[in-house]
Amino acid sequence: MKMKKKAFLVLRNNSLFIKMFLIMVISIVAVSLLITFSSIRMSSNLFMDTFSISNTEALEQIENQFEDYSFAIVGATNEVQNNGTIKKVLTQEDQNAVETSKSYHDMSRQIERIYPTVESYEANMIVLGNNERLYNVNYSNWPVSWEVLRNHPITQYTINRPNTLLYQFLPSTSFNDEPIIVATKALMERSTGEIYGVLYFPIREAQLKEFYQGYTSMENEVLLVDATGKIISSNNEEMIGEEAPDVLALAKRVDDEQLEFKDVTVFGTDYMLMSQYLPTYNMYLVNLVDKGAVLNNLINTKEILLISLGIVLLAVIVVFIISRRMTNSISRLVKQISTMAKHDFNVPVAETGGYEAKKIANAFNSMLSELQEYVDLVVLAQQKQRSAELMALQHQINPHFIYNTLASVKFMIQQGKKEKATDMIHALISLLQNALSNVDQTITVEQEITDLKNYVLINQSRYGDGIKVNFFISPDCLDCQLPKLILQPFIENAFFHAFNEKKEGFVQILVSQKGDNLMCEIVDNGDGMEIKGDHTKEDIKEKRHLFSGIGIRNVHERIQLLHGEQYGVEITSKKGEGTKIRVELPLQKTDAPVESNKITST
Amino acid sequence: MKKFYLMLVLLIGMAVLAACSSGDEEASEGSGSEGSSDVDSITIWAWDPAFNIAALEKAKEAYDGDGEYEVDVIENAQDDIIQKLNTGLSSGTTNGMPNIVLIEDYRAQSFLQAYPDAFHPLTDVINSDDFAEYKIATTSFEDEQYGLPFDSGVAALYVRTDYLEEAGYTVEDVTNITWDEYIEIGKDVKEATGKNMLTLDPNDLAPVRMMIQTNGSWYVDEDGSTPNLADNESLEKAFETYKKMMDADIAKIVSDWSQFVGAFNSGDVASVPTGNWITPSVKQAADQSGNWAVVPMPRLDMEGAVNASNLGGSSWYVLNVDGKEQAADFMLNTFGSNPDLYQTLVKEIGALGTYSPAAEGDAYAVEDEFFGGQQLITDLSAWTDEIPAVNYGLHTYAIEDILVTGMQDYLNGAELTTVLENVQGQAEAQLK
């Protein structure tokens, strides 16, 4: 659970980095993947295009080879057809041995003359006559007897199409161990239309293969497909003799549509198929290129992938380092800012990290200090406003107070209590003097006590001595400073409200040092009161017949405003027992000038 | 710090690129030619998988020397071998030449004479006395033995005993006869059975060659190059005999090998006068087992003629190329000195060699049921020793080409002496 929380915290703290890093990594990988694959694809396509062009040319060359062979066959065929000796020998009926011998000899001379045309192709030449005559130039290439050949299907087929030179395929059989391709032509007497023999040009498939062998490889196969879809020659031995009508159909399409090449799937492999029609053979020359194998040889996909993998890794490392550095400074900044509230906005953030982070921290700090200035200004303004208010209140010395006091003085003079009147006038003068001076000024405890005594004197002179006032001032406190008129309102309050039911009592004023604080207590044994709620303010009723406009409520606020919240006024009271007011102030000696609660700023 | 990263990136990048580009540099190891003439493998060219190639495979199995080399046997058609040899040797290059080549005896001299330096002499390698005498003449040149004689071309007359019987003859009646007697028998056989006595190919004068060799004569003189046609009594006699056979109408005319084999396999002819290498072909017709016998070749009806002749046969030659010592070692170890190998060849292939010590082996004495229990190999070996040695010379086939036409002229009524003078003139003009 703790681990989870920790992990979550780490995640949250690094969320900017993680986001940035992830996006970068994904983009890098995506870009390099796309580029890699598109370049592989482009180069493959380019290669295949070039390949198809060169293969098409190769096909044309092969076609030329086939045409040359076909041309040689046609030449030899024409010679045989036009040869009177051969015709005579093939049409002769039974003779004696000498005549037969001569026929055979004559015929062999003719054929020896004609044979070289096709000999260079290592093709055989066989002449079959109806009269049991058979001339086989190179019997090792298809050793066949007259009976077998006469009744052979290819002979029948040829006789049925006497005007056409046909190329027929013979698979390997017991008497010829290799597949052969036989060009056949019926020998026909033109005038009568009688067929007097058949001419054969068997060529081993292996020899035919020579025509294109040089252009082939494992991945680049050449097939010769006849009109029935049978593969009669191929550099791939296994295919020879197979029926492949699908290849034939595709080859027809490629040739008909004049396509450069076509991507096909035959024999379970993907091939690029090129095709060329051999009209004299009525066959299709098909070139199958195994794209996958060719490209495997050409493009080292593994190497390209490795390179891009390396680049991606490098980029990721670089991105990691850089973004780590960038986000780290920002994260630090964010952390500092988020803890700002704890420091009252007065601790500036550290200006470290990258350029951007420094700028941000700098801006933030200057914003912060400006904010401080404004806050100071606002506080100052409020203080001024408060002072002005106090001043105004202070200046509103109740005229009744002065009127009543002066009236009392008049009675005293009338009664001839001249000295007493003088004291009273004296007290009033000093009271007014202090009261009307700047309210912000602090005075010593001694002065304040003097004022209070004057005030008490005036009041006692007017209302009698029912209320006794005692001062207990610790001597070490006499030179302590305190704001003006702090204690006067409480005395006034005691005089006018604490003794409404009881007519006599006493008020005791104690000033002492308590730790670092100045403790002033005003205790009376008057009526007391019920205290509800906040006992510092609301329940002390304001009366208009005050000495000045400063009420009890203001005292607390003034103290707190001047010295902070730990200071202030505390009132405890009980009905019938009296009221006890404690005023706590900081201890300030005379020589130390009073400072307002200034906000430290940098 | 930044610089450090940059360097790091560059370094890694270079390392990656270097790793990728390596592998192209695998230089092909220069396989410089070794200083010595020893080679790892020797190559042999021969034709006929059923006969020569099979014999070579047996020889490879039989080799028990301590030479460490591979033996590559390459099959080629005989014409191809002749052509390739001529092309290669005349250009003076030994590139692509085999170490050992099989050459037909009729052609051997033309090669030995044309390219004497191209062949490695075996005079000191083999013992010439171990081989049939007539083969030594054809395989040696200017007192040096070049060829290692291989198969015997000893000719024999294969006869159908059943047809002879039908005509009232026995095997004894056809043994050691003359060609004239043969023709007479042939007439009777044709009369009795309707079968021709033999096949003749007008373009192949093998019968003529066999005939004249019975009398120790050939198309050329002893020197091997001067045509010996006009005034050659043996040749005249052979021509006359040939014409007699034609006139008697006892020959079936064929034009190629398959027809030739087909004729006796199908029972169309009563006899086959040819080389002993035909034995396997004769035996192809298993239904004729017991109806065949082999007797000595008829001789020309002339003084000095013997009932022994030859047709074909070939010998091994070592070419003077790198590896000739190994090739000679292989030849000596197998065909040159191993009688057991010849036993194997006779038993399993039916190939009859000309190595005399082999004749004492058991395989040679085996009775052949196909030929009525005849000890065929023993007989053939005996006749081999009697073959008159002749120098086949350089031009056997060239002269025969001319003779074929001459024969037709003669058959069709030309005067024999004129015909022979004609061909003599042509041959001299052509072979000059």
| C-beta atoms of A139 and B257 within 8 A | yes
Q: Work out the pLDDT band at B356, boundaries 50, 70, 90.
A: confident
pLDDT at residue B12 in the model: 57
Q: Please, which residues have CB within 8 angstroms of residue A222's CB and are 6 or more apart in sequence?
A: A62, A212, A215, A216, A234, A235, A285, A286, A287, A288
pLDDT band at B210 (very low <50, low <70, confident <90, very high): very high
Does the pLDDT of residue B169 top 90, yes or no?
A: yes
Name the more confident of A390 and B162.
B162
Paired tokens of B373: 């229990």
Q: What's the pLDDT band for B193 if we cut at 50, 70, 90?
A: very high
Chain A hits for B257, Cβ within 8 Å: 139-140, 143
Domains and CATH numbers, chain B: 39-153+312-361 (3.40.190.10), 155-309+389-430 (3.40.190.10)
> With bands split at pLDDT 50, 70 and 90, how would you rate the model's confidence at B14?
low
Measured in whole angstroms, the distance separating CA B339 from the mean position of its chain's CA atoms is 20
Question: Which residue do the tokens 């058959």 mark?
Answer: B411
Q: Is the ipTM of this complex over 0.85?
A: no
Residues of A at the B interface, defined by Cβ within 8 angstroms? 96-98, 100-102, 104-109, 133-136, 139-140, 143-146, 303, 306-307, 310-311, 314, 317-318, 321
Interface test with B, best of A89, A92, A100, A329 (most B CBs within 10 A): A100
Is the pLDDT assigned to residue B22 strictly greater than 50? Answer: no
Q: Locate tokens 């001595």: which residue?
A: A465
Determine the Cα–Cα distance for residues B137 and B115; give it in Å rounded to an integer: 18
The backbone torsions φ and ψ at residue B299, rounded to the nearest 5 degrees and listed phi first, read: -110, 160
Q: Band the pLDDT of B24: cuts 50, 70, 90.
A: very low
Interface test with A, best of B80, B190, B199, B255 (most A CBs within 10 A): B255
Sheet holding A231-234, edge to edge: A231-234, A220-226, A283-290, A269-278, A262-266
pLDDT at B6: 56
Q: Which residues pair with B141 in a beta bridge?
A: B144
Distance from the A167 Cα atom to the nearest Cα atom in chain B, whole angstroms: 24
Please indicate whether, in this complex, the C-beta atoms of A139 and B256 are within 8 angstroms of each other: yes
Neighbours of A274 (CB within 10 A): 25
- Name which of B68-77, B155-164, B288-297, B311-320 the model is least confident about: B68-77
Dihedral-angle region of residue A124 (phi above 0 means left; psi in -120 to 50 means alpha; beta otherwise):
beta
**Residue in A325, A393, A330 with CA at minimum distance from that of residue A364:** A330
Check B20 against A306: CB less than 8 A apart: yes
Question: Would you call B78 an interface residue with chain A, using a CB distance cutoff of 8 Å?
Answer: no
pLDDT digits (tens, 9 = 90+) for B25-78: 333 333 333 334 678 889 999 988 878 888 999 999 999 888 888 899 988 888
In this prediction, residues B97-108 reach a mean pLDDT of 92
Contact A502, A526 (CB under 8 A): yes
Contact: B408, A97; criterion CB under 8 Å: no
- B83: confidence class by pLDDT, cuts 50, 70, 90: confident
Q: Residue A80's closest CA among A203, A202, A198?
A: A198
Mean pLDDT calculated for residue range B408-423: 92
The tokens describing A263, both together, are 């991507």
* Residues lower than pLDDT 50 in chain A: 533-545, 592-602
Dist. CA B149–CA B61, nearest whole Å: 20
Please report which confidence band the pLDDT of residue B296 belongs to, taking 50, 70 and 90 as the band edges: very high
Q: pLDDT band for position B275 (50/70/90)? A: very high
Any CB–CB contact under 8 A between B414 and chain A?
A: no
Average pLDDT estimate for B225-231: 90
In contact, A304 and A44? CB cutoff 8 Å? no
- The residue of chain B nearest to residue A315, with distances taken between CA atoms, is B9
Dihedral, CA of residue B386, residue B390, residue B392 and residue B397, to nearest 10: -70
Contact A98/B258, CB-based, under 8 Å? no
Specify burial of residue B163 (Cβ count, 10 A radius: 0-12, 13-18, 19+). buried
CA nearest A67: which of A234, A284, A281, A274? A281
Residue at token pair 């103290």: A559
The kind and range of the H/E element at A188 are: strand A180-189
Which pLDDT does position B18 carry in this prediction?
47
Which of A111, A115, A140, A313 best probes binding to B when mutated, by most B CB atoms within 10 angstroms?
A140
Which residues are A510's β-sheet partners?
Answer: A472, A521
Q: Is B102 left (phi over 0), alpha (psi -120 to 50) or beta?
A: beta
Query: What pTM value is reported for the model?
Result: 0.62
In angstroms, the Cα distances linking A277 to A270, A356, B370 are 22, 73, 55
